[in-house]
Amino acid sequence: MKTFYVNARYLIVPVMTIATILGLFIGNSFAWLGVILFGINTIVDTLTKNIHLRADFDDNGNSYGIKKLQYAVMYLMLPAFIFLQVILAWRLYQYTSVTSFETLSFLGLSYQSGISGFNLIGSVLSAGLWAGLGIIYGHELSHNRKEGFLVSRLIMALSGASHFTYAHVYNHHLDLGHEDDPATAPRGRNVYSHAWLSHAGQSQYSYDLEREKLKKQKKSFFSLSNKWILGYLYSLPSILLFVWAGGVLGVLSLTVIWAISNFLLEALNFMGHYGLIREKGKPVEHRHSWDNDNLFTSWFFIEIGRQGDHHVRGETYFWELDDVDAPNYGIGYFSLFVLTLFPPVFRRFTQKLLDDWDENKATVAEKEIANQFKNLSIS
């Protein structure tokens, strides 16, 4: 029973992604289902903000997580996200070809053929939000074996962010908490500028990584061994699909989807490390990440909030990550995400927590760096 509970609780995103796909397929107001689910999740996350969880292990210290099942789910999310884009492209095609409105049936399921402009907006927003939330699988698989790494790259490519997989492992995990890591937001930065700076910085890192590697291998930069170029080529089918389905409107829709999904990805990076400081070259420790162990966040985001443990034991499966007494916001990611959208509110919220970090967790050298921010009146 415990095994079932531990494994089933991580299925919220797959189930809701399928619901979003079905919503797009059924059409009408159901096209907004993905947006509505995002709103409901925010409410549930806020209502359960005081419930914190630890990882579950049996008496022998073994995890209840079933690796084969969890991996199968993560791998299956790739076709699910592809399907999400295909369904949206179909709706775009219907809109641009002015398909007449009528109720039809497919395998016993009634759906509306044809879509209004308003519901098309709902479809695009729904697809963007769930493509973005699905990035948690791209993250988890970036730390795993060859085939998992490739699936991660392909999932990220659906959001035009295949460079993430390399930058995350070789840059973020190595340079965390330091200015060399574009994914760590320094104090005073807001989520909007971070989204762009982190995205562009990680792509630049991946570009430099490939340039150096190919130089060492005496290969041309313009080669299929170039993983930076290859990553963007993986995104090409999405671009072609949307151009075919909607022309200029298709390109605009894909741009919105990529903007939303990358914004959510970078918001996760933002929340994971905002304002925390590490001296270059010093070991990454639990105090260099914000933990998030709220019930709904833990289940929904497949424990991605356990950043403290993850950054010290990067090879550990998500279901085995645990509380490590890292700094903690105390509220879940959905609630926190809403705060990040209002930078002055977010800064006020984190001020006390960062002061506490400086006082009780920072080393002398880290405290000195924090003081440099304070001297510039950045908090």
User: Interface with another protein by CB under 8 A: which residues?
Assistant: 143-146, 149, 166, 169-171, 173-174, 209, 213, 216-217, 283-284, 312-315
Six token digits for residue 26: 């059924």
Q: At its nearest, how many Å lie between another protein and the CB of residue 170?
A: 5
Six token digits for residue 254: 């894909």
**Residues 6+ positions from 144 with CB-CB distance below 8 Å:** 152
Could you tell me which of 169, 209, 174, 356 has the C-alpha nearest to residue 276?
Answer: 356
Closer CB to another protein, residue 144 or residue 190? 144
Task: Residue count of the chain, please give it.
Answer: 379
Q: At its nearest, how many Å lie between another protein and the CB of residue 54?
A: 22
Q: How far apart are CA 112 and CA 188, in angstroms?
A: 48
| Contact in structure between 152 and 138 (CB atoms under 8 Å) | yes
Q: At its nearest, how many Å lie between another protein and the CB of residue 150?
A: 11
Strand, helix or coil for residue 328: strand
Could you tell me which of 30, 240, 37 has the C-alpha nearest to residue 116?
Answer: 30
196 CB neighbour count, 10 Å cutoff: 12
Closer CB to another protein, residue 284 or residue 370? 284
Closer CB to another protein, residue 205 or residue 329? 205
Six token digits for residue 209: 């990584």
Closer CB to another protein, residue 16 or residue 154? 154
Strand, helix or coil for residue 180: coil
Q: How far apart are CA 341 and CA 282, in angstroms?
A: 32
Closer CB to another protein, residue 85 or residue 152? 152
Q: At its nearest, how many Å lie between another protein and the CB of residue 151?
A: 14
Closer CB to another protein, residue 187 or residue 227? 227
Residue-wise over 12-40: b if at least 16 C-beta within 10 A, else e?
bbbebbebbbebbbbbbebbbbbbbbbee
Q: At its nearest, how many Å lie between another protein and the CB of residue 145?
A: 5
| Contact in structure between 340 and 305 (CB atoms under 8 Å) | no
Closer CB to another protein, residue 112 or residue 142? 142
Q: At its nearest, how many Å lie between another protein and the CB of residue 213?
A: 6
Q: At its nearest, how many Å lie between another protein and the CB of residue 51?
A: 30
